[in-house]
Structure 1
Amino acid sequence: MTPADIAAAETILGVTFTIDERALMLDNLEAQIIRARVRRGVDLGDAPPASTFDPRLPGFVMPQGTGMLRLLPVDAPLPDDDDDIAFAPVTHLAHWIRQGALTSARLVEIYLARIARLNPTLNAWATVTPDIARAEAEVVDALTREGVSLGPLHGVPYGLKDLFDTKGVTTGWGAEPYADRVPDTDATIVGKLRRAGAVLLGKTTLGALAYGDLWYGGRTRNPWNPEEGSSGSSAGSASATAAGLCAFAIGTETLGSIVSPSQRCGTTGLRPTFGRVSRAGAMPLAWSLDKVGPICRTVADTGLVLSVLNGGDTADRGSIAAPFHWDASKPLAGLRLGYLPEAFGGGATDLDRTALNTAKSLGLETVELTLPDLPYESLTNVLFAEAAAAFENLTLSGRDDELTWQDAPAWPNAFRKARFLSAVDHVQLDRLRYRVMQAVDALFRDCDVVIGPMGTANMLTATNFTGHPCLHLRSGFDRLATRPPGALGSSAGPARPTDGTLHRVPHGISLWGGLFNEGPMLSVGQALEAAFDVHHIRPEI
């Protein structure tokens, strides 16, 4: 080790020391490196960090309520057409099954037929499990005939993002090194869904290691324009739900992976409060950021599915036991809707501004908000470091070269670069994160729900790091050329060169709510869904 080595490292770390200071460091740098190498020689297995993230600031009071879900009644009759049944809301499907008008077995066959016909185009399923689906449907239907219901999702078929363990079924994480991985146990939420009566159709695709929409089976496609990807990383969950290949699907979000494919595919995605849903048995990408939530076709469906997923779990160190309550029949009177004016400025679309005006027309008290000027994007280095730690063995073994990337080296390269991030800077990032938590908390002192475009005014980044919930729903349609591959599904940005063809594609708006207080956000979302009246329009695929 020489002073010249230290000087070269300073360039990478963005710091500067004097010649004398470099000389002083030589006596202990070797020992520091040795300690690091000794630690790398220990296989940490699936051990999580000892420190856990808690989104609750001092003085936080858990929202009070009945701890129950109350949805609007369903009175629609069962359609004759199989496609109409396939696209029906979960609330309707569950109602028809309970009433005996529809069997789970018939619904499973409807979806399996659609998967066989459309998945070769969409590439939204990593593994289809027809035997499991038919067996589970048979059990559910037998119980229905006996007058027994397992729960609110009794007989409803769903897709599961392929980073959740399923006993005896490949869980490949979208990445070549793990393509043959077969777990021995189920993830916690798999058991929850089964006990609530949900029927597993199979595993939906994700971008490799939860990045984008490219996986070892190719690119997952947007049903509204199959020439472009569905965005990610919950790529298959959004594509399959939008195309009517399942009743709903489960996604995860670390930094946009539920809301972004929902924006691209026109689905309704709910990212719950950090800690509300167990991640036990899920691939860890970033322990302090990963969140689990439903991707559906209606707001009510997301609330219904979340009521099943909700609950504390000692197997997940980040889990927080919290009641979930939403009364969908409760009027909006008294709710305050906040917005950041700059979010609807030059970077916004006419559809975004129309969505804000529609929200204002609901009779809510509207409040202009301001976020402090903080380096929010700097927080993404936390994500890179946690992800690099989660996949350290992949990087240091050289197996990261097995992943194929058509667009960019993505995670493997980010993992490598994260090795050069300063530990001191990371402690400071943790302190910055606390400042951001205080800033976002202040927003919800002045309002109950915030509205804005998905990726503007720092809300996507800020709220993922603070743990606040987000609901993204379709607000209208745009006509756009095929968009380039990328991790985020924003309608903004340059299109790749094409023949000039414009495609009718969905556009959405985001709502954010207070910690563990998704109810008001869902109520505003349900009212907006009715006002927009576009959620029922299907892709022509």
Structure 2
Amino acid sequence: MQPFELTIEHAAAAIAARTLSPVELVDSVLDRCDAVEQRLHAYVTVVADRARQDARRAEKEIRDGLHRGPLHGIPYGLKDLFDVSGIPTTASSRVWAERMPDGDSTVATRLAAAGAILIGKTHTHEFAYGLLTPQTANPWHADAIAGGSSGGSAVAVAAGSALFALGTDTGGSIRIPAALNGMVGLKPTYGLVSRHGVAPLAWSLDHVGPIARTVRDTATVLSALAGHDPADPASAAAPAHAPAAYPADPRGLLGLRGLRVGVPDTYYFDRVDPQVEAAVRETVELLRELGAAVTPVKLPLVEHMEATQWGLMAPEASAVHEETLRAAPHLYGPDIRLLLEAGSRVSALDYLRAQRTRSLISDAWIRLFGGVDVLIAPTSPITAARRGQETVRWPDGVTETVTDAYVRLSSPANITGFPALSLPVGTDSAGLPIGAQLIAAPFSESVLFRVGTVIEEQRTDTGGPADVPRTVAIHESSDS
């Protein structure tokens, strides 16, 4: 096994034991990046010289007795919406082609303080306004999309050109690419992680969170990110729930007896691929066998989710881009320009209706979590769509766009601001990953980590991912 294949947990242990140096780890990741980037295009910018310099500094600090914690010496990728001084932030758009920030985002500052080492900036769908990340290839299948908008971050982790990466999630943009690439992705509680220095899409829906190979790795990264930041007006004053590094539990008994698991009886299993549904329901049965109290739940106000998501996101995104869209519309991609122009035509009355509906939904969901500890459902109704595929047709005759299909199951957690974790629970007949989504009440990330860790451990014991997950064997594209 090569160093780039390690989880954060195992790499950190090796670094602490002095059996692996940050220099060796970063060199391995950069070599892997050189080997796969021509096919995958996960990165906009790779800062190899800077990464090697930071690795040498980390090695010296650790040798001198200054160990900053489990992220010290760990290489990571950063979605190209996050400012880092001296490195361009382009948002994968010609609009920002020349943009060079003069300061760091809060999360970049916190990761630097934790000793993590930046490999580079990862591709996003332009300004994070889409779910494809068309520049980036899915490593599992040559003709499948990477998902988005944090597609570059998910692919970098899956391919081994980062041990973790950060993304943003406005309607599912962390969880969807995590699911489509077989990784773990967390959208934390709204306000738990600062968005200062991060290009916005829709300020009332935007979240920052990690993508990693395991649930425990995701928890480790969140520990470094979470906390109040006065520079972000939406930053929560509530203390972060410190996510514990849960020990391995091969019998799968970790904290499940008495846990109340809700399974939606509508919405999340409506118009879902049968293979996706089967994998998630098999996971539900696993939780039941391990002592969880599983009960069907009726989700309130779900018929208003799609209209509320778009009623909030479209006008907020158009407001963000109002001036540049007027000054340089030709610099936007045609799909993004169309969305921004449409959003500018949403009336103030309709936006206020969406905000009022969101309040009603959030209040109803808070009451729902008085009876359950966690919801489990599919992350997305389909696995990775094929490149060029525009629609999904369901057996009941309904046709929806691929984007609408993906956002349908992920947007409720953005509307409510509740934490949601996607983790792999199987593959379909084409070998593409299937993700299950866990949702909990605000600031209950620890519940997600407990349940997710049990699922992960049990899948390891029953022929699922290896204890140290392998990186994806990259499939050659027919046009590469």
Normalised-by-shorter TM-score class: 0.7 to 0.9
1:229 to 132, 137, 145: 145
Letter in 2 for 1:186: D
Letter in 2 for 1:429: A
Q: Name the counterpart of 1:389.
A: 319
Q: CA deviation at 1:357?
A: 1.7
1:505 to 432, 446, 451: 432
8 Å Cα contact 2:220-2:243 kept in structure 1: no
Letter in 2 for 1:105: V
8 Å Cα contact 1:213-1:220 kept in structure 2: no
Q: Name the counterpart of 1:353.
A: 281
SS at match of 1:326: coil
Q: 1:512 to 1:227 in 2, by over 3 A?
A: same
CA–CA distance in structure 1, aligned partners of residues 201 and 128 of structure 2: 7
SS at match of 1:401: helix
Q: Name the counterpart of 1:316.
A: 232
CA–CA distance in structure 1, aligned partners of residues 197 and 256 of structure 2: 38
Query: Which is higher, the Rg of structure 1 or of structure 2?
Result: 1
Q: Name the counterpart of 2:160.
A: 244
Q: Name the counterpart of 1:417.
A: 342
Q: CA deviation at 1:214?
A: 6.2
SS at match of 2:44: strand
Map Cα deviations across residues 258-291 of structure 1 (whole Å, 9 max, x no partner): 0110111111001100000000000011111110
SS at match of 2:142: strand
SS at match of 2:186: strand
1:539 to 472, 475, 478: 472
Q: CA deviation at 1:346?
A: 6.0
Q: Name the counterpart of 2:415.
A: 465
Q: Name the counterpart of 2:395.
A: none
SS at match of 2:261: strand
Q: Name the counterpart of 2:69.
A: 151
Q: 1:474 to 1:214 in 2, by over 3 A?
A: closer
Residue 262 of structure 2 corresponds to residue 338 of structure 1: yes
- TM-score w.r.t. the length of structure 2 is 0.86
8 Å Cα contact 1:168-1:184 kept in structure 2: yes
Letter in 1 for 2:432: V
Q: State the number of aligned residues.
A: 429
CA–CA distance in structure 1, aligned partners of residues 43 and 54 of structure 2: 19
RMSD: 1.7
CA–CA distance in structure 2, aligned partners of residues 214 and 507 of structure 1: 17
CA–CA distance in structure 2, aligned partners of residues 250 and 233 of structure 1: 12
Q: CA deviation at 1:333?
A: 2.6
CA–CA distance in structure 2, aligned partners of residues 147 and 449 of structure 1: 41
1:288 to 197, 204, 229: 204
Q: 1:255 to 1:188 in 2, by over 3 A?
A: same
CA–CA distance in structure 1, aligned partners of residues 76 and 357 of structure 2: 39
Q: Name the counterpart of 2:403.
A: none
Q: CA deviation at 1:348?
A: 4.8
Letter in 1 for 2:191: G
CA–CA distance in structure 2, aligned partners of residues 196 and 436 of structure 1: 37
Q: CA deviation at 1:458?
A: 5.7
- TM-score w.r.t. the length of structure 1 is 0.77
Q: CA deviation at 1:360?
A: 1.9
Bigger Cα displacement from structure 2, 293-302 vs 224-233 = 224-233
8 Å Cα contact 1:212-1:235 kept in structure 2: no
SS at match of 2:221: helix
Q: Name the counterpart of 1:326.
A: 243
Q: Name the counterpart of 2:215.
A: 299
Q: CA deviation at 1:213?
A: 6.2
Q: CA deviation at 1:308?
A: 0.3
Map Cα deviations across residues 390-437 of structure 1 (whole Å, 9 max, x no partner): 01112212x232233xxxx33211111122212112112111111110
8 Å Cα contact 1:213-1:219 kept in structure 2: no
Residue 111 of structure 2 corresponds to residue 193 of structure 1: yes
SS at match of 1:337: strand
Q: 1:214 to 1:360 in 2, by over 3 A?
A: closer
Residue 424 of structure 2 corresponds to residue 474 of structure 1: yes
Q: Name the counterpart of 1:483.
A: none
Q: CA deviation at 1:95?
A: 1.1
8 Å Cα contact 2:153-2:166 kept in structure 1: yes
SS at match of 2:370: helix
Letter in 1 for 2:321: F
Map Cα deviations across residues 73-96 of structure 1 (whole Å, 9 max, x no partner): xxxxxxxx32xx212110111111
8 Å Cα contact 2:311-2:350 kept in structure 1: no
Map Cα deviations across residues 357-386 of structure 1 (whole Å, 9 max, x no partner): 222222101121111244111111210000
Which stretches in structure 2 are left out of the alignment for 5+ residues? 248-253, 382-406, 475-480
Q: 1:314 to 1:411 in 2, by over 3 A?
A: same
Q: Name the counterpart of 2:33.
A: 115
Q: Name the counterpart of 1:530.
A: 457
Q: Name the counterpart of 1:50.
A: none
Q: Name the counterpart of 2:136.
A: 220
Which stretches in structure 1 are left out of the alignment for 5+ residues? 1-80, 481-503
Q: Name the counterpart of 2:292.
A: 364
Q: Name the counterpart of 2:99.
A: 181
Q: 1:383 to 1:90 in 2, by over 3 A?
A: same
SS at match of 1:445: coil
CA–CA distance in structure 2, aligned partners of residues 295 and 400 of structure 1: 33
Q: CA deviation at 1:513?
A: 1.1
Q: 1:214 to 1:510 in 2, by over 3 A?
A: closer
Q: Name the counterpart of 1:204.
A: 122
Q: Name the counterpart of 2:85.
A: 167
Residue 469 of structure 2 corresponds to residue 519 of structure 1: no
Q: Name the counterpart of 1:68.
A: none
CA–CA distance in structure 2, aligned partners of residues 117 and 337 of structure 1: 43
Q: Name the counterpart of 1:255.
A: 171
